[in-house]
Amino acid sequence: MASNWLRAENRLEQDHTPGSLSPAAEQADYGIAGSRSTLDAKSDWREQFARAQRERRANVVCMKWGTRYGPEWVNRLAAMVRRNTTWSIRFVCFTDDPRGIRDDIECQPMPQVDFDPRLGTHWPKLGLMQKGLGGLEGMTLYLDLDVVIIGDLEPFFTYEARFCMVREWKDPHLGYGNSSVVRFFVGQESAVLDRFQATKTEELIGTYASKEQNFLTRAVDEVTFWPDEWCPAFSHACLPRARVLRFFSRPVRPTEGRILVFYGSITPASAMRGEHEAWKRGRAGPAIRLSRHRFLPANWIAEYWRE
């Protein structure tokens, strides 16, 4: 069953006529919890966007919690960001353990998000949507720790839109986004947290498949997907589709890519070995695996994925 806010949003979309307020703006007049005037919100983000362009200044943030990724992942990401833009960047890592992270990287505590453990591990990302996030303001680009920056980042700062994320490669007809590369304006999407708290766990599991990025795509007032060629997925863009051919192939670098995204059991580290990460497999595989080899080593990743 859909959440109250989603049912109301769908009803308003059906009643919407040309020349009237947008559905999200009408929600504020109807008094739906967690909504606000889209007209005012648009004005806010456009002013912040214009300011960022004038000052050539933005935030870049990442998150590290638990023990799956060590501090070297943060250090590499920060170095890649700095090499690939001339903008003035405030780089912040939200983490529960700053040990080993370079002193020139700003570390802050993880934003608090309460959720049912049955949902999985990725839901802390929603904390980025809170007002006053870490004392930051304005344009903010979030990057997963396991992305590899292979091109100029500045288009991600000059792309004019309110909220941007990667278009999900799996089941694209569903219209969901991938949260590996997200750009937002601090505090503009705080209604997401209200909507999250108003949604039952069973619905988050059933309707959104326990994926925070699915919920986020639907919960923001206005989502825009990055141009597809900017954020290619390693498994899609660098390898043959046929798994038999992959075994004998060396991954190729995407010619138009800017941020290479990894998902599933492949990471930048394992891609350079031509293997999958056994610890990152989301589900149990065959009982017997003779080798973790999946393709020939992608040695070229080392050129980008470094401090």
- For 225, the 3-state DSSP assignment is strand
Size of the chain, expressed as the number of residues it contains: 307
Q: Tell me: the pLDDT tens digits for 98-147? A: 999 999 999 999 999 999 999 998 899 999 999 999 999 999 999 999 99
Q: What is the pLDDT of residue 282?
A: 52
Q: What is the pTM of this model?
A: 0.85
Using DSSP's 3-state secondary structure scheme, residue 95 falls into strand
Exposed / middle / buried, residue 278 (Cβ in 10 Å: 0-12, 13-18, 19+): exposed
Residues 105-138: b if buried by 16+ CB within 10 A, e if exposed: bbbeebbebebeeebeeebbbbbbbbeebbebeb
Three-state SS for 132-191 is CHHHCCCEEEEECCCCEECCCCCHHHHCCCCCEEEECCCCHHHCCEEEEEEEEECCCCCH
Amino acid 12: pLDDT: 32
226 DSSP assignment:
P
Q: Could you tell me the CA-to-CA distances from 24 to 21, 40, 200, 215, 245 in Å, in that order? A: 8, 11, 22, 17, 48
* pLDDT given for residue 243 in this prediction: 84
User: Considering only CA atoms, which of 305, 177, 158 is closest in space to residue 231?
Assistant: 177
In the numeric block, which tokens belong to residue 112?
């608090």
Residue 126's pLDDT is 98
For residues 109 and 170, give the distance between their C-alpha atoms in angstroms, rounded to a whole number.
Answer: 32
Contact 126, 190 (CB under 8 A): no
233-166-170-286 Cα dihedral, nearest 10 degrees: 50
Mean pLDDT, the chain, rounded, equals 87
Q: What is the pLDDT along the chain (307 residues), one digit of tens a residue?
A: 445 455 444 433 333 333 333 333 333 332 333 444 455 555 699 999 999 999 999 999 999 999 999 999 999 999 999 999 999 999 999 999 999 999 999 999 999 999 999 999 889 999 999 999 999 999 999 999 999 999 999 999 999 999 999 999 988 889 999 999 999 999 999 999 999 999 999 999 999 999 999 999 999 999 999 999 999 999 999 999 888 899 999 999 999 999 999 998 899 999 999 998 887 655 544 444 557 899 999 999 999 999 9
- CA torsion sign for 297, 168, 69, 77 is positive
Tokens 């209604």, residue located: 191
| Cα separation values, 131 from 112, 125, 185, 303, Å | 12, 14, 10, 37
Q: Identify each DSSP E strand in 186-261 by its residue range.
A: 224-225, 259-260
CATH hierarchy code of domain 55-228: 3.90.550.10
Radius of gyration of the chain (CA): 20
Q: How are beta strands 164-167 and 177-185 bridged, if at all?
A: antiparallel
**Residue 6 CA from chain centroid, whole number:** 22
